[in-house]
Structure 1
Amino acid sequence: MAQDQLGLFDKSPDQRETRFSLAVVALLIVALLVILPVRGIRLHEVQAFIPMIDGIMFVGELITATLLYAQAIVFRSRALIVLATGFVFAALLLIPHMLTFPGAFAPDGLLGAGVNTTAWIYTIRRAALPIAILAYVHFKQADASSHPGVERPSVRIMVWVWAAIAVAAAVTLIATRWHDLLPPFFVNHAERNQNYAAAYHFIVFAIYAAAAVALLRKRSSVLDLWLLVALAGWLVQALLNVVIDARFTVGWYGLFALMLFSNLIVMLALIAETSWLYSRLALSTAAQRREREARLVSMDTVTAAISHEVGQPLTAVALHASAGLNSLNKPRPDVEMAIRSFRAISESGQRTFDVIKSIRAMFAKGPNLQTEFDLNQLVRETASLMDRELAAKKITLELSLDEALAPINADRVQIQRVLVNLFANAIEALEPKRGRNRRIAIRSAQLNGHDLLLEVSDSGVGIAAESSERIFDPFFTTKATGTGLGLPLCRTIAEEHGGRLWASPSPDQGATFHLQLPIRRRHPHGPGTNVS
């Protein structure tokens, strides 16, 4: 995976994400329009409301910061470090806000809080996040024009975390110990000094707007998009905050609900997108692992095929050589027998050469050798090759071949490979079956003057319904030691000769494989050029 696809920092938003973010902004605006007309209605004072809201936002913002720090480590990005530290600082200020809020844990709040302590802590917290976004935009632009991420110095997260803790402690100390020196926010614990409060919130609104404009001009990633959504929510809160004149009203409760939603939207987006990217990476890694294993299996299969197919004619060479030598070593040498043995050696040697040449052609581009031959004769030759195995397993072979069959033009060795594979599959299908009815039937027929049909049927266990659609899929096998490459390779050979290979249940029991081939077909590139 390329680096620009590793995280939200560089991943561009797609249409789905853009549409969803616009829907969220529209929902926030609708919520504002609903709350405004009834904002001044007083409601019951729920003292546990602030601890509950602050606790949820505290956890949410720490999760957001953790995710951003993780991205910062990957990209070695100062921009993400600053943004994550802004979320840490905002989360830390929730602790003194909750403790100093009047009525939450004490009538006047803890830590020696005054009337304006809670309001000032939260105002500074509101301003911290857009300021962090402004710094994020600046450093992101600086990072883009500097060295690539892998060449940047590693980030020191704990230095920034300790800095956030120190600044949050300083703000808490000022707001609690020297609260009387701060400009007034509230007349009492419930009613605000509206003139001063409106001015303070207007300044915060201006900071939000500046951050939104800066981010809108430079946005290029999914993270930028969701930060804009969060800023839209904070702008809505700032507008609502200007017109709220007291705590525990509809507007005040609605303000904190919007605040919770806006702050958590970035966390939810980060979690969702990170999970999606992780799933994509996991699927990509699994695909690469499967491809690597497939290559190893393919090489093992090719090696086994070469050993098996070359081994048969070489075994015949050894047997005929031994027979020829025995014929010549007799007291009265049997010259005719020796000549027949040596001719058989020559034929087996040529067959070995043809097998090697065909295997090589399966992995090399270019035209293969096509010859005209009798398919019935090839079936008989293949049956003769399998005769020993058929006899050892007491399997009856029934041939019903149409002697009027026209010759076909194809690669003889590759078609024989298909026949050998179909024979082997039929024999293996009969292994679990006990009794005398162990039978393989082969039938050939001419279809329409243009094609030939060869059917290989067995009386074995058949093909399970759940496997019938997948037996030609590469690497799918129902055998304990199978590779799942035989039938896909056979179908590839058939299709590259202009034919088809398919399977169906036999009328009584077992399965039937149907091989359809054209009588005459000149393939422009030669059959069997790709089996991997």
Structure 2
Amino acid sequence: MGEMVARENLGLFDTPPGRLEIRLAVAIVIGLFAAVLIILPFANIPLPSSNAFPPSIDAVMFADELIIGALLYSQAAVFRSRALVVLASGYVFAALLLVPHALTFPGAFSPDGLLGAKISTAAWLAVFRRTVFPTAIIIYALLKRTDSTALVEAERLPVRVLPAVLGAMALAVLATILATSGHDLLPPIFVDATRGVWTSLVVLNLVVIALSATGLYLLYRQKRSVLDMWLMVALAAWLAQSLLNMPLYARFTLGFYCLFGMMLASNLIVMLALIADSNRLYARLALSTAARDRERDARLMSMDAVAAAIAHEVGQPLAAAKLSASAGLSWLDREQPDTARAAQSMRETIDAGNRTFEVIKSIRAMFSAESGSISEVDLNELVRETAALLDREMGVHRVSLQLSLDDDLPPILANRVQLQRVLINLLTNAIESLSTTRRRARTIAIKSERSGGRLQLEVSDSGGGIAPAKLASIFDPFFTTKSTGTGLGLSLSRTIIEELGGKISAAPGKLHGATFNIQLPIRSTVTAVRGSPIA
């Protein structure tokens, strides 16, 4: 079936955890539950009150959770994942609730708290935080399955981060209003500034435990990534905190202080782990990019070698052709033209031209880097596979893909690798054109259909397009419209398509951009590329 280009794992969302990471995560979870077991017998021992302690912890966690949210939003933009958007919004919502929680905490900034706080206002804001976080993970786990099964087939639009952030802010404002102005509509959690209602605390902690356990179960069932593993650690930390919080009946006890300490520690562990893994992945990506740059330099050197070989091998027959043509003109320019000798010179010119073509063919075969076998290729399958390879690039540049593929297309005879290179070249050019597009949707549309005895593939985009004066030269070697282009991509694409017995053409888009049309024969006898046998 030919060579397939392997997809790289480019983020925490799709990279499986390593053995060392799994061991570290398990050790952290064991440490958290061991700490809970040690603290539980002494949890209700009263300690001196420190009203500044909760707001101080809130401030650190506020920055921590916003950083996690920013990391997740950046991953969501690359992967175009609704699941990551929901998860990031959950972190942002939880972080924003820390501000009113600190302001309304009794004794922190005023005896009863600011914002019109009542006895249980700060407690209810903490409850909203503790229930929303596992709920966001549950939705994330459910949406992740949908995202993974609809990677290419569906028309997935780039995710919108700003509306998600605004939505999290709006929900945080509503939760604050409910906990303050709507305080009397909620069941009481505290009797006064320090003593809690034990039954309310138990019920609320049981709800958090149930939600956390559900999230753990859903994450455990699916194929886990680095992000999923650290989310499981975070949920385990919520479970441990709920177990510690359940027997507490008052603030400013040993268990109260340890609870805030565990919340801070678990959040910092997740944040540092995500940052460390992100840096590791980006370092690996940088090394991979450097390796590709070295490979490109090596290919450029190979091109220099090819050019030198062409100049050396082709120079002789071209010089002979020039000499024979000049001689023929000399025989014809005489007062009494010698047509016989002129004709002989023309024949020698033609022979020299034929030798030139043979030399070029031999050089091309000599520098061939692949076997290039011909086989039956499902064009639609190849389009989907190629689109999946470039999904990351489209996500980075917020490009949406629209597929309109005729499922009844018969297979064609082609070199799968070379045909995929043509598709990659067309899609890459379209993405580069769309990356500078402003004030309109960035869209690539691919359409396949049968037209008579041929298959027709149309690739169009909504980018800047091609100037009409340049359309006639777009497939010429070394002709490029890009400042950094080599001008070889479309020329080689035309060569590959024509060797398969097909045609490729370019035209302006209907409204914007450009449209490339490829026509390929259906199961016809095709000359094997570079002399390769038909598989």
Q: 2:112 aligns with which of 74, 91, 108?
A: 108
Matched, 1:78 2:82: yes
Residue in 2 that maps onto 1:205: 209
**Aligned residue number for residue 139 of structure 1:** 143
The reply on whether 1:193 has 2:174 as its aligned counterpart is no
- Residue 2 of structure 1 deviates from its aligned partner by 5.2
- 2:158 maps to amino acid: S
Deviation at 1:37, TM superposition (A): 2.0
Matched residues in 2 for 1:46 and 1:263: separation? 22
Once the two structures are superposed, what CA deviation does each residue of 1:161-207 show, in whole Å capped at 9, x if it has no partner? 11111111111011111212321111110111112221221122111
Q: Verify: 1:169 aligned to 2:178, yes or no.
A: no
Q: Normalising by the residue count of structure 1, what TM-score does the alignment of the two structures yield?
A: 0.56
Contact 1:112 1:177 in 2 (8 A): yes
Q: Distance in 2 between matches of 1:3 and 1:269?
A: 24
Q: Which amino acid aligns with 1:125?
A: R
1:56 aligns with: 60
Contact 1:21 1:225 in 2 (8 A): yes
**How far does residue 64 in structure 1 lie from its aligned partner after superposition?**
0.7
Match runs of 1:279-358 below 5 Å: 279-297=283-301
Structure 2 CA distance, aligned partners of 1:76 and 1:283?
25
Question: Which of 232, 238, 250 is matched with 1:234 structurally?
Answer: 238
Aligned counterpart, 1:7: 11
Aligned equivalent of 2:132, options 128, 131, 143 = 128
From the superposition, tell whether residues 49 and 3 of structure 1 become closer, same or farther in structure 2 (CA, over 3 Å). Answer: farther
Tell me the amino acid that sits aligned with residue 19 of structure 1: R
Q: Which residue of 2 aligns with 1:331?
A: none
Match in the other structure for 2:460: none
* In structure 2, distance between residues paired with 1:88 and 1:135: 15
**C-alpha contact (below 8 Å) 1:76/1:150 kept by paired residues:** no
Change in CA separation of 1:112 and 1:206 when aligned onto 2, cut-off 3 Å: same
Question: Out of 67, 70, 74, which is 2:71 matched to?
Answer: 67
Contact 1:54–1:98 under 8 Å retained in 2: yes
Bigger Rg over Cα: 1
Describe how 1:20-39 pairs up with structure 2 within 5 A. 20-39=24-43
Q: Which residue of 2 aligns with 1:160?
A: 164
CA contact (8 A) 1:77 1:149 kept: no
1:257 alignment partner, one of 236, 261, 273: 261
Structure 1 residue 17 displacement after superposition: 1.3
**Structure 1 residues 251 and 157, CA gap change in structure 2 (3 angstroms):** same
Q: String of CA shifts for 1:499-525, please: whole Å, max 9, x gaps.
A: xxxxxxxxxxxxxxxxxxxxxxxxxxx
Residue type at the aligned position of 1:153: L
8 Å CA contact 2:306–2:367 kept in 1: the answer is no
Could you list the per-position Cα deviations for residues 305-364 of structure 1 after superposition, in whole angstroms to 9, with x for gaps in the alignment? 9999xxxxxxxxxxxxxxxxxxxxxxxxxxxxxxxxxxxxxxxxxxxxxxxxxxx9xx78
- For residues 4 and 80 of structure 1, do their structure 2 counterparts lie closer, same or farther at Cα, with a shift above 3 Å needed? farther
Q: Does 1:148 align with 2:147?
A: no
Structure 2: distance between partners of 1:133 and 1:164: 15
**Post-superposition shift, 1:5?**
0.3
Matched, 1:216 2:220: yes
Cα distance change of structure 1 residues 301 and 80 upon mapping to structure 2, 3 Å threshold: same
Deviations 1:444-487 (A, max 9, x none): xxxxxxxxxxxxxxxxxxxxxxxxxxxxxxxxxxxxxxxxxxxx
Unaligned runs of 5+ in 2: 313-362, 369-535
Question: Could you say if the C-alpha distance between residues 297 and 236 of structure 1 is closer, same or farther in structure 2, counting changes exceeding 3 Å?
Answer: same
Alpha-carbon distance in 2 for matches of 1:295, 1:150:
37
Q: Could you tell me which residue of structure 2 aligns to residue 406 of structure 1?
A: none
Cα drift, residue 145 of structure 1: 2.1
The 3-state SS of whatever aligns with 1:144 is helix
- The residue identity in structure 2 corresponding to 1:83 is L
Q: Does the 8 A contact of 1:75 with 1:149 survive in 2?
A: no
Per-residue CA distance 1:220-274 (angstroms, 9 max, x = gap): 2111111001101100000111011111111011111111122233322221111
Alpha-carbon deviation of 1:30?
A: 1.5
CA distance in 2, matches of 1:162, 1:295: 48
Cα distance in 1, alignment partners of residues 308 and 144 from structure 2: 57
- Give me the whole-angstrom Cα distance separating, in 1, the residues matched to 2:52 and 2:251: 14
Displacement of 1:9? 0.9
Matched position secondary structure for 2:240: helix
Write the distance in 1 (CA, Å) between the matches of 2:106 and 2:225: 41
Task: State how far apart, in whole Å, the 1-side matches of 2:247 and 2:34 are.
Answer: 17
8 Å Cα contact 1:76/1:149 also seen in 2: no
Residue 182 of structure 1 aligns with an amino acid whose one-letter code is L
1:245 paired residue number: 249
Give the conservation status (yes or no) of the 8 Å contact 1:205–1:238: yes
Deviations 1:123-152 (A, max 9, x none): 011000000011001111111222439941
Shift of 1:38: 1.7
Q: Which residue of 1 aligns with 2:94?
A: 90
Inter-CA distance 102–93: structure 2 relative to 1 (3 Å threshold): same
Structure 1 SS opposite 2:17: coil
**Segments ≥4 residues shifted beyond 3 Å:** 1-4, 294-308
Q: Secondary structure at the match of 1:18?
A: helix
- Looking at structure 2, the residues matched to 280 and 58 of structure 1 have their Cα atoms a distance apart, in angstroms, of 30
Distance of aligned partners of 1:150 and 1:41 in 2 relative to their CA distance in 1, 3 Å threshold: same
| Contact 1:75–1:150 (CA under 8 A) maintained in structure 2 | no
CA distance in 2, matches of 1:158, 1:77: 14
SS at match of 1:243: coil
Q: How many residues align?
A: 319
| Alpha-carbon distance change, 364 to 224 in structure 1, aligned in 2, over 3 angstroms | closer
Of all paired residues, the percent bearing the same amino acid is 53
Kindly report which structure 2 residues correspond to 1:291-440, keeping only aligned pairs within 5 A, or say none.
291-297=295-301
CA drift at 1:295: 3.7
After superposition, the CA RMSD in angstroms is: 2.9
Q: Does 1:184 align with 2:188?
A: yes
Distance across 2 between alignment mates of 1:2 and 1:65: 30
